[in-house]
Structure 1
Amino acid sequence: MKNLLSNIKIVVPEKIYIKDPETSDLGKRIIEYSIKLIDEVGFDHFTFKKLGVEIKSNESSIYRYFESKHKLLLYLSSWYWAWIEYQLAFETHNITDLKEKLEKAIEIVTRSVSEDSNYTHINEVTLHRIIVNENSKSFLTKEVDQENKDGYFIVYKRVISRLNDIILEINPNYEYSLSLASTITEGALHQHFLKDHFKTLTNCNDQRTPTTFFTKLILDTLQK
């Protein structure tokens, strides 16, 4: 698995950035330190000026890669979902038992994240924390419909589509497969958030994880 992923470039929609940050050391530093800074101060208080101080570069140099911090958040979100998509593709590819395949897919989308040594400038654990806390800010905007038309959310939508296909393999007659797939994807982020910040609003904890919850919820739903 790791050997396969080490040869794969995570692909983010080109319209999100002005210059691909993966093509230069400065670009990779922008991504690395933006993850650290957003995690530290939150997206609302994150600015390119603060990021410039962290990477010891002019603020203007960051604008050569991204036209706004919103586009940078879209980049981080797209990178994360592309990374999840590759795991879905590889870890479920050779599973022939449909129930086992669905359980693995749910696990991948809902589990706590481990750091992936294949991408040294991206801390996936920290990025996952940002996605849990900030992902909705990438699409809860007035521009969401146009950005959707422009393909900014294509990777995120592919993850849900993959889950949808696996659900339909289990139960081809289930009428709400897309709703169920998107509920798994978004609901997992929400349960992780509640587990970390509103413990009295969820049964999930370190022992009873979001993965456990969604696996039981989905299997019980599809078996009815």
Structure 2
Amino acid sequence: MNELLKNIRITINEGIYLKDPESSKLGKRIIEDGILLIDELGFDNFTFKKLGDRIQSNESSIYRYFENKHKFLVYLTSWYWGWKEYQLVFATINISNTSEKLIKAIEILTREVEQDQLFSHINEVALSKIVINEYSKSYLTKEVDNENKEGYFVIYKRLSSRLKAMIIDVNPNYPYPASLASTILAGSLHQHFLIDHFTSLTDCNASTSPSQYFIHLTSTLLNS
């Protein structure tokens, strides 16, 4: 089983990158150090020049992989949601009870991230912080409609659709399954952000996790 898991690869839309960063050592270094640098500096202060200096490579070498830093962010956030999807599928595949399956899915999608040793060149904890703080910048752009048509956000949408299907399995009569699924995904990021920056705006804290909140919210809505 461990050998099988080691061969898992998160597949990203080829239109997001110019050259697959997973295909070379340099590409993996760009991903690895790019995550750490964005986590340190924030996306607004991040540049390919700074990343080039960090990995001791020409800035131009990074442009061989990514057209610009926006697409780099789209790549990283797409990888994150693909990783979450892999976790969700793996954790729920053998659960037959629909309510238990949905609860497990919500837990997977909303819990605090821990390091995953299967992907040695990616710091998932740092990446989760980037997604919490910067994900909206990947789609709050003038190009979002075109990029959506090109499939840039297909992994996120597919993950939301999986959650929607689980909600319907629990309560086929609930009228807003798509809205609830997308609210859980986006709301989880927001709750984690509030915990770190605006504690008075959330009831989530060291003793009450976003997972507990969203499980309670979903169970209440679907059982009402």
Using the size of structure 1 for normalisation, the TM-score is 0.98
Q: Provide the rounded CA distance (Å) in 2 between the counterparts of 1:7 and 1:34.
A: 23
The whole-number CA distance in structure 2 between the counterparts of 1:4 and 1:183 is: 33
Structure 2: distance between partners of 1:206 and 1:5:
32
* Residue matched to 2:142: 142
Structure 1 Cα separation of the partners of residues 206 and 107 of structure 2: 15
5 Å matches for 1:156-195?
156-195=156-195
Cα deviation for residue 4 of structure 1 reads 4.4
Q: Per the alignment, in what secondary structure is the counterpart of residue 152 of structure 1? A: coil
CA distance in 2, matches of 1:6, 1:57: 29
Count matched residues: 224
Please give the per-residue CA displacement for 1:185-220, whole angstroms capped at 9, x wherever unaligned.
000000000001111110101210000000000000
Rounded to whole Å, the distance in 1 between the matches of 2:195 and 2:154 is 28
Q: What amino acid does structure 2 have at the position aligned with 1:132?
A: I
2:97 maps to: 97
Query: Hey, what's the Cα distance between the residues in 1 that align with 2:12 and 2:215?
Result: 29
Q: Shift of the alpha carbon at 1:123?
A: 0.4
Checking the alignment, whether the CA contact within 8 Å between 1:48 and 1:59 is kept in structure 2 is yes
Q: Gaps (5+ residues) in structure 2?
A: none
Work out the CA distance in 2 between the residues paired with 1:190 and 1:77. Answer: 15
Q: Could you say if the C-alpha distance between residues 201 and 4 of structure 1 is closer, same or farther in structure 2, counting changes exceeding 3 Å? A: farther
Q: Note the alpha carbon deviations across 1:146-189, whole angstroms, 9 max, x for none.
A: 00000000000011000000000001111100000000000000
Who is 2:117 aligned against? 117
Alignment partner, residue 202 of structure 1: 202
Cα drift, residue 110 of structure 1: 0.2
Secondary structure of residue in 1 paired with 2:8: coil
**2 CA distance for matches of 1:5 and 1:45?**
36
One-letter amino acid matched to 2:215: T
TM-score (norm 2): 0.98
Q: Is the 8 A contact 1:191 1:202 kept in 2?
A: yes
Seen in structure 2, the aligned counterparts of structure 1 residues 191 and 65 have a Cα distance that, compared at 3 Å, is same
SS at match of 2:174: coil
Q: Partner letter of residue 192 of structure 2?
A: H
Compared with structure 1, are the counterparts of its residues 2 and 222 closer, same or farther at alpha carbon in structure 2 (3 Å cutoff)? farther
Which ranges of structure 1 fall in alignment gaps of 5 or more residues? none
Distance 1:49 1:123 in 2: 21
Find out whether 1:218 has 2:222 as its counterpart. Answer: no
State the partner residue of 1:80: 80
Q: Secondary structure at the match of 1:45?
A: coil
1:132–1:190 contact (8 Å) kept in structure 2: yes
> Over the residues paired in the alignment, what is the CA RMSD in angstroms?
0.9
Identity over aligned residues, as a percent?
A: 62
- In 2: Cα distance, 1:217 partner to 1:98 partner: 17
Give the AA of the match of 2:35: I
Per-residue Cα deviation, 1:120-144 (whole angstroms, up to 9, x for no partner):
1100000001000000000000000
Aligned amino acid, residue 14 of structure 1:
E
| CA deviation after TM superposition for structure 1 residue 5, in Å | 3.1
- Partner amino acid for 2:94? N
Shift in Å, 1:98: 1.0
Given that residues 2 and 118 in structure 1 are in contact (C-alpha distance below 8 angstroms), is that contact kept between their aligned partners in structure 2? Answer: no
